[in-house]
Structure 1
Amino acid sequence: MNADSVWNPGRQRAPSYDDIVKAHEMMDGIVRKTPLQYSNTFSRLAGTNMYLKLECLQLTGSFKVRGALAKIGRLTEKQAGHGVIAASAGNHAQGVAFASARKNVSCTIVMPKNASPAKVAATKSYGAEVVQRGFNYDEAWEATQEIAKREGRTIIHAFDDPDVIAGQGTVGLELLQDLPGVDRIYLPVGGGGLAAGLSIAIKAKRPNVKVIGVESKAFPAMKESVKKGSLQSVKAGYTIADGISVKSPGRLTFDIVSKNLDDIVLVDDTAIVKTMFLLMERAKLVVEPAGAASLAYLLSNGHPAGKKEKVVSILSGGNVDMYLLGQVVAKGLMQMGRMVKIFILLPDKPGALKEVVDGIAELSVNIVEVEHDRLSSNIPAGTAGVYLSLELESEKNVPKLIEMFKKKGIEFRVVS
């Protein structure tokens, strides 16, 4: 039996700075050295000198490929012959599949049965066999261990592995190369692989640089663990940032993060949606919810140290479901006050709606969607309820819109 087919995190040791350098050398010419982009827009919004590390432009769409390449690149011939296996519903799956294909290593990915069809298809496109088990990550992980033991495959853990951590730490090496004068780094935290690896690289050369982790308010597992000094599990909440929706961090990553991170802060979905929208509109970047978490915290809370510091936000991935992306655009417009949904009650007769539409057109407001409702119990007979989704130039147009409805004597209410 392959020893790595039996998962035993207790025997792991933290990687060193030299391990990260070796991982960087191993993947040189394979992974992209992603851009570090200074942003005037986000510097103004965050109140500091804001730099964006664009891992959303990395191969397979996220930083996860770095750890996968580092781990699979260190397999012995015997281990490679047995093949590898991983549990993942997203970015780790694609990273492991890509890295395995480069080394011609047999790869099985265990994904939940309710995983996004697009992510399943993307993983298969890299040559992996996808096995779907259970309806969440934990159930998929249990199946992964069973299959690994039966087939002798090496488990490629998503974060709690020293080689994987070393691979993720190469992001830190690139930051030191591109911005030696960096003062603070904000990055998303789920299981903690990126935070652990990057913090080792940064603190080894620049111990005064502040490294701050950002978790979802729905899954503050690492924050609670560090606060209480031992591994904690949190109740499953809900967040669109599935990439950082981890109920319990890794044992090894917890040990490293506890020593190296200067703080762990929390962000909610509302801030993440607004930030994803701003990244698309202002920076022309598609960033997934977990990838936008660190910048979302900065935009919603401001930067405490003032305008002189050089601050980096890690945009860790760009793999987002297209349906969710559509929702983000709509909700982002609403949050920015540029889209409003209004319910109006009109006489159910010809020309009633036309009068309203003409008034809206005079205000240079765009009608995005019209929905009639004549059957609900709260709609009196002889009338029609109409939901109007309206696109505005800015939230300053809303009072003018409301004044127009009042002048025309139209019964209305703002829905959202």
Structure 2
Amino acid sequence: MTPTSSTVTVAEIRAAADLLSTVIAPTPMEYNRGLSERVGADVFLKCENLQRAGSFKIRGAYTRMSRLTAEEKARGVVAASAGNHAQGVALAGQMLGIDVKVYMPVRAPMPKVQATLAYGAEIVQVGQTLDESLVHARAWAEQTGAVLIHPFDHHDIVAGQGTCGLEILEQCPDVRTVVVGLGGGGLLAGIAIALRELKPDVRIIGVQAEQAAAYPASLAAGHPLAAERMSTMADGIAVGLPGAVTFPVVRDLVDSVETVSEGGMSRALLFLLERAKLVVEPAGASAVGWLLENADVEKVEGPVVAVLSGGNIDPLLLLRIIRHGMVAAGRYLQFAVRVPDTPGSLAGILADCAGVDANILEVEHIRTGPQINVDEVEIALRLETRGPEHCARVLDAMRAKGYTVIESA
């Protein structure tokens, strides 16, 4: 592919890297054996989840805000964010002595809200999505003269995020494929600009949550289109409309934009916890989720770098996602059996589950229902298993014992 007409240049990305050199340190790049075996090529993880404030966002926020004039800094800044950009702007404001106001969706993760407050920002929670919060941020900027720090659609933001691309080349100079989570496109655009000029033959893949994917339809139409639906746990990439700055870069420089399912992100998050010992939020796990979902059907040339864009996750959401990921990975099994409502029936089921080495997590008795006779009880079970093959073995064993098995959807 040929370079885009974007005004962001590698020279400007290098200038941003110099600016950031006293603010942040390069994040680690870790080889992951388990993912490499799944993909069939060497895979490295670019750990932006270990960045200051927990994501790559400080790169663009500090670059943008440090270049404001003294008069602009005095007026303060305003931003809209689901969480990571909010923390990046608030941290940059703290370091630069700039007052920060952030509009966040009402359902923004509480740890992201609290962390943003801890950096000294004022927060107003309004709207259900980033796009709705952005409307209020723009209105405040127009009303007060505060400078809007857009989460992705600005020259300096893209230049700052592009410094991650420079680090990728320094840490993995022979990289052949780079996979990056995609929301508004600031990180992907910045990385793409750096890589296309410095290593033009590298394959660049953007990954969106399939339930919040505005880019595929926009690329097909040739211009930004709003997403038809926005329903994903990956709040960090839940952006309804590509930006005017980022869209042409993604269109011209990125080889393909793919999507990943909610289950794929859950499995990736669980995989990264278990196999890489890394805490990553759903948006940050999107690149790994796509690799795991496509390892059997698409040949990806290595070395591969998957960018883990952020690690700011609500512990309560983490618990739910771990359970969701365990179900998606076949590590939990849910089913019910219908048995006579007599003493000893439950004890027999528990013993039979133990006989196939399945650990029981939850048990529920159901005595009324259209298919349950008056002398019967339905016992719903949630089991911990070792994977899909073990699940099948448990169900086969239950049927062999004569139980009527009702599998959960």
TM-score by length of structure 2 reads 0.94
User: Are 1:389 and 2:382 counterparts?
Assistant: yes
User: Are 1:184 and 2:177 counterparts?
Assistant: yes
| 2:266 corresponds to | 273
Relative distance call for 1:161 and 1:337 in structure 2 (3 A) is: same
Choose 162-171 or 145-154, whichever is displaced more.
Answer: 145-154
| 1:9 corresponds to | none
Pick aligned residue for 1:54 from 41, 47, 58: 47
| 1:6 corresponds to | none
Pick aligned residue for 1:362 from 331, 355, 363: 355
User: Sequence identity of aligned pairs in percent?
Assistant: 37
| Structure 2: 5+ residue stretches without partners | none
Q: Distance in 1 between matches of 2:368 and 2:314?
A: 34
User: Are 1:71 and 2:58 counterparts?
Assistant: no
Within a 5 Å distance, the mapping from 1:19-168 to structure 2 comes to 19-168=12-161
Q: Describe the superposition over 1:366-406 as per-residue Cα deviations: whole angstroms up to 9, x where unpaired.
A: 11111222244443323322211111233333344234323
Q: Describe the superposition over 1:288-310 as per-residue Cα deviations: whole angstroms up to 9, x where unpaired.
A: 11111112112211288858631
- Do 2:130 and 2:239's aligned partners in 1 also have CA atoms closer than 8 Å? no
| 1:297 corresponds to | 290
Q: Describe the superposition over 1:170-227 as per-residue Cα deviations: whole angstroms up to 9, x where unpaired.
A: 0001011111111111111111101111111111211121211112222332232222
What is the deviation of 1:255?
Answer: 1.7
- Do 1:88 and 1:110's aligned partners in 2 also have CA atoms closer than 8 Å? yes
Q: Secondary structure at the match of 2:212?
A: coil
Q: Describe the superposition over 1:124-163 as per-residue Cα deviations: whole angstroms up to 9, x where unpaired.
A: 1111000122333232111111111222111000000011
Q: Distance in 1 between matches of 2:199 and 2:406?
A: 56
| 1:288 corresponds to | 281
Relative distance call for 1:132 and 1:309 in structure 2 (3 A) is: closer
AA of the residue aligned to 2:356: L
Q: Distance in 2 between matches of 1:336 and 1:145?
A: 43
Q: Distance in 2 between matches of 1:373 and 1:140?
A: 45
User: Are 1:398 and 2:391 counterparts?
Assistant: yes
User: Are 1:247 and 2:246 counterparts?
Assistant: no
| 2:407 corresponds to | 414
AA of the residue aligned to 1:50: V
- Do 2:184 and 2:239's aligned partners in 1 also have CA atoms closer than 8 Å? yes
Q: Distance in 1 between matches of 2:33 and 2:87?
A: 33
Relative distance call for 1:369 and 1:25 in structure 2 (3 A) is: same
- Do 1:86 and 1:144's aligned partners in 2 also have CA atoms closer than 8 Å? yes
Relative distance call for 1:296 and 1:79 in structure 2 (3 A) is: same
Q: Distance in 2 between matches of 1:225 and 1:394?
A: 39
Q: Secondary structure at the match of 1:247?
A: coil
| 1:215 corresponds to | 208
TM-score by length of structure 1 reads 0.92
- Do 2:227 and 2:240's aligned partners in 1 also have CA atoms closer than 8 Å? yes
| 1:347 corresponds to | 340
AA of the residue aligned to 2:375: G
User: Are 1:228 and 2:226 counterparts?
Assistant: no
Please tell me the root mean square deviation across aligned C-alpha atoms, in Å: 2.0
| Structure 1: 5+ residue stretches without partners | 1-11
Q: Distance in 2 between matches of 1:306 and 1:226?
A: 23
Q: Secondary structure at the match of 1:105?
A: coil
| 2:324 corresponds to | 331
Q: Distance in 2 between matches of 1:49 and 1:67?
A: 29
- Do 2:336 and 2:381's aligned partners in 1 also have CA atoms closer than 8 Å? yes
Choose 93-102 or 109-118, whichever is displaced more.
Answer: 109-118
Deviant stretches of 4+, over 4 Å = 303-308
Relative distance call for 1:73 and 1:13 in structure 2 (3 A) is: farther
Q: Secondary structure at the match of 1:85?
A: strand
Q: Distance in 2 between matches of 1:395 and 1:132?
A: 42
Q: Describe the superposition over 1:35-86 as per-residue Cα deviations: whole angstroms up to 9, x where unpaired.
A: 1111111111011111110111111111111111111111111111111100
Q: Describe the superposition over 1:102-127 as per-residue Cα deviations: whole angstroms up to 9, x where unpaired.
A: 11110000112232333222211111
- Do 1:47 and 1:303's aligned partners in 2 also have CA atoms closer than 8 Å? no
- Do 2:178 and 2:205's aligned partners in 1 also have CA atoms closer than 8 Å? yes
Q: Distance in 1 between matches of 2:286 and 2:39?
A: 14
Q: Distance in 1 between matches of 2:256 and 2:296?
A: 14
Choose 78-87 or 384-393, whichever is displaced more.
Answer: 384-393
Q: Secondary structure at the match of 1:294?
A: helix
AA of the residue aligned to 1:38: Y
Relative distance call for 1:399 and 1:221 in structure 2 (3 A) is: closer
Q: Distance in 2 between matches of 1:196 and 1:394?
A: 38
Relative distance call for 1:90 and 1:356 in structure 2 (3 A) is: same
Q: Secondary structure at the match of 1:361?
A: helix
Number of aligned residues: 405
- Do 1:14 and 1:252's aligned partners in 2 also have CA atoms closer than 8 Å? no
Q: Secondary structure at the match of 1:281?
A: helix
Relative distance call for 1:96 and 1:112 in structure 2 (3 A) is: same
AA of the residue aligned to 1:210: R
